[in-house]
Chains A and B, each alone.
Chain A
Amino acid sequence: MAMVEIRDLRKKYDGGFEALKGVNLDIEEGEILALLGPNGAGKTTLISTICGITLPSSGQITVGGNDVIEAYRAARNLIGLVPQEINLEPFEKVINTVRFSRGLFGKPRNDALIENILKKLSLWDKRNSRVMELSGGMKRRVLIAKALSHEPRVLFLDEPTAGVDVELRRDMWDTVAELKRDGVTIILTTHYIEEAEAIADRVGVINSGEILLVEDKASLMSRMGQKELRIDLVDPVAEIPSALGEFELSLEDEGKTLLYAYDSAAERSGIGRLMAAVAGAGLQVRDVATSQNSLEDIFVGLVANQQEAAQ
């Protein structure tokens, strides 16, 4: 049984807008799933529906085997949520808002645990500061501390690093990695594809309320990942030599660079033969480099395909 199971989930708002159009998704215990999607794709609605903030129009969600409507207490006890917006009581002290969150989930006060969480998130020195005195990045850490205060088994991070500086982003990735080591299931939505590439085990792409794809990150990248070989020449050539005619090459950089596109997952890449042919044609090579398609390219391609299909 998956940690989170979503079956044919639909959400239609009162205005008639259909934010989720029959979403099916299984999230396994202990994995990190990154949900990618453009603005308005339904990422936040999906998370809000799982967490109980939004009521589904139809369909079923279970968390740890507990239906989020029928057995909401058991389900919600397992869930921690870091919302996208910085929603915090401005006049309260950091430590008190974190204690409040723990209490709200029915857990008895545990100062040692709260201290540990605040220290990990570099908030311990600020524990007696009022929330409004903190910087934006610090406030985001407070949101995470609140979400972790009741020791959740499933953590939702709704665009946790939007508008956050590089240092904090790295810190946050470290925190996520540590939680994963403790067996916490993590679902994060993000605009930043590099974020999904850096920390996710699986990647889901959502657009217009539909899940377009959920796949293991590595297999997704190798399946769809085109690679490119760049050969820099010492002396520029006016055109591609005829000896290299059997390869699909293009010429760039005023004849100084040969580009060779190939499929890294294919049995034979043809690189060995190409290099031999290049030497055979008398071309002198200055440098060689390969690059791989990023998730971003894959993502943009998927969304564009869906939009074309819709038209």
Chain B
Amino acid sequence: MNWQAVKSIYVFEMARFFRTLMQSFLSPVISTSLYFVVFGAAIGSRIDQVDGVSYGAFIVPGLIMLSVMTQAISNASFGIYFPKFIGTVYELLSAPVNFLEIVIGYVGAAATKAMFIGVVILATSALFVDLEIQHPVAMLAFMVLTCLSFSLLGFIIGIWAKNFEQLQLVPLLVVTPLVFLGGSFYSISMLPPIWQTITLFNPVVYLISGFRWAFFGLADVPIGLSLLAIAGFTALCLGVIWWIFKTGWRIRS
């Protein structure tokens, strides 16, 4: 393994993050605050409790997941798309590095950034509601795995995208709807029976459910299934990336 290369990619990518640290830090703080004003105060005041948890607290895991997933995807997809766009990808292709080293560097940096945002949102949330985390280790594990797997997905999108519009397409048209419909702001049990069944086809449901279980011990689906879902998703993304580098799809002519 060329760990020096992994470190270089990671440091170079993190430098991009630190150059815009204020934006990186402020935007999740502001958007989280807005969610709390709208969902927590305005709507939440009419919804008393969900399964014994105050509505304001109930939405925290979903809020964190929403940001972590979109941030992981956008960071990772931009991270690898930008070198393709400006042409600096030649350096990666002609360096003595293999796909695993490139992926660890880029995905590691994107996941770190997403993790940072997740922690910022968690801290901001604690200013608005009383939070009690029942299973902190599981909470951390779910967050790390989500950051990683969605960064892997973002990496694939970045390789696939041929322009900036495509770069936005998947996050906007696929991920955001799946997250909103995945129980970020409600419990699946609040839906009519038919929708409860349909919702189970949404992979994000398993992630949010597992994450919420780590906070409150409440879950829409069994926790084992949640773990299986995220492990399966990570494996799928890794498989696709392995294939991309094996064939050189959209990177090596």
Q: Is the CB of A105 within 8 A of B5?
A: yes
Q: Is the CB of A101 within 8 A of B5?
A: no
CA distance A74 to B2 in the complex (A): 12
CB-defined contacts of A107 to chain B, threshold 8 Å: 4
CA distance A51 to B2 in the complex (A): 18
CA distance A88 to B82 in the complex (A): 11
Q: Which of B6-14, B183-191, B213-221, B223-231 contacts A (4 or more CB under 8 A)?
A: B6-14
Which residue in B9, B15, B97 is a CB contact (below 8 Å) of A92?
A: B15
Question: Is there a chain A Cβ closer than 8 Å to B86's Cβ?
Answer: yes
Q: Is the CB of B8 within 8 A of A100?
A: yes
CB-defined contacts of A76 to chain B, threshold 8 Å: 94-96
- B15, B16, B96: residue with the most chain A Cβ atoms closer than 10 Å: B96
Question: Is there a chain B Cβ closer than 8 Å to A87's Cβ?
Answer: yes
Which residues of chain B from 69 to 103 have any CB-CB distance to chain A below 8 Å in the complex? 83, 86-88, 90-97
Q: Is the CB of A88 within 8 A of B93?
A: no
CA distance A14 to B19 in the complex (A): 40
How does the 8 Å CB contact mask read for A142-163 relative to B, with 1 for contact and 0 for none? 0000100000000000000000
CB-defined contacts of B248 to chain A, threshold 8 Å: 55
CB-defined contacts of B4 to chain A, threshold 8 Å: 103, 105-108
Q: Is the CB of B91 within 8 A of A72?
A: no
Interface size range on B against A: 20 to 34
Q: Which of A78-86, A200-208, A235-243 contacts B (4 or more CB under 8 A)?
A: A78-86
Q: Is the CB of A51 within 8 A of B253?
A: no
- A52, A99, A105, A106: residue with the most chain B Cβ atoms closer than 10 Å: A106
Which residue in B5, B16, B252 is a CB contact (below 8 Å) of A104?
A: B5
CA distance A100 to B95 in the complex (A): 11
CB-defined contacts of A48 to chain B, threshold 8 Å: 253
CA distance A42 to B137 in the complex (A): 57
Q: Is the CB of B95 within 8 A of A104?
A: yes
CA distance A91 to B5 in the complex (A): 20
Q: Is the CB of B88 within 8 A of A103?
A: no
Q: Is the CB of B94 within 8 A of A54?
A: no
- B2, B5, B91: residue with the most chain A Cβ atoms closer than 10 Å: B91
CA distance A51 to B95 in the complex (A): 8
Tell me how far the C-beta of B19 lies from the nearest C-beta in chain A, rounded to whole angstroms.
Answer: 7
Q: Is the CB of B252 within 8 A of A73?
A: no
CA distance A154 to B88 in the complex (A): 20
Q: Is the CB of A87 within 8 A of B8?
A: no
Tell me how far the C-beta of B61 lies from the nearest C-beta in chain A, rounded to whole angstroms.
Answer: 35
Tell me how far the C-beta of A75 lies from the nearest C-beta in chain B, rounded to whole angstroms.
Answer: 8
Tell me how far the C-beta of B97 lies from the nearest C-beta in chain A, rounded to whole angstroms.
Answer: 7
Given contacts A96-B15, A100-B8, contact A105 B96 (CB under 8 A): yes
Q: Is the CB of A52 within 8 A of B94?
A: yes
CA distance A81 to B252 in the complex (A): 16
CA distance A263 to B211 in the complex (A): 86
Tell me how far the C-beta of B23 lies from the nearest C-beta in chain A, rounded to whole angstroms.
Answer: 14
For A75, give the chain B residue with the smallest CB separation.
Answer: B96
Q: Is the CB of A53 within 8 A of B87?
A: no
Which residue in B11, B88, B90, B95 is a CB contact (below 8 Å) of A105?
A: B95
Q: Is the CB of A89 within 8 A of B86?
A: yes
Q: Is the CB of B253 within 8 A of A106?
A: no
CB-defined contacts of B83 to chain A, threshold 8 Å: 89
Q: Is the CB of B88 within 8 A of A89?
A: yes
Q: Is the CB of A146 within 8 A of B5?
A: no
CA distance A89 to B13 in the complex (A): 11
Which residue in B7, B19, B96 is a CB contact (below 8 Å) of A77?
A: B96
Question: Is there a chain B Cβ closer than 8 Å to A13's Cβ?
Answer: yes
CB-defined contacts of A105 to chain B, threshold 8 Å: 4-5, 95-96
CA distance A53 to B92 in the complex (A): 9
Interface residues of B (CB under 8 A from A): 2, 4-5, 7-9, 11-12, 15-16, 19, 83, 86-88, 90-97, 248, 252-253
Interface residues of A (CB under 8 A from B): 13-14, 48, 51-55, 72-74, 76-77, 79, 81, 83, 85, 87-92, 96, 99-108, 146
Question: Which 4 residue pairs across A and B have the least CB separation, nearest first?
Answer: A103-B8, A87-B87, A73-B96, A51-B94
Apart from A96-B15, A99-B8, A104-B91, 13 more pairs, CB < 8 Å:
A14-B253, A48-B253, A53-B94, A53-B252, A89-B86, A96-B12, A102-B8, A104-B8, A104-B97, A105-B95, A106-B2, A106-B96, A108-B4
Q: Give 25 A-B contacts (CB < 8 Å), ordered by A residue.
A: A51-B93, A52-B93, A53-B90, A53-B93, A73-B96, A77-B96, A79-B94, A83-B87, A87-B87, A87-B88, A87-B91, A88-B88, A89-B83, A89-B88, A91-B16, A91-B19, A96-B12, A99-B8, A100-B8, A100-B9, A100-B12, A104-B5, A104-B9, A104-B92, A106-B96
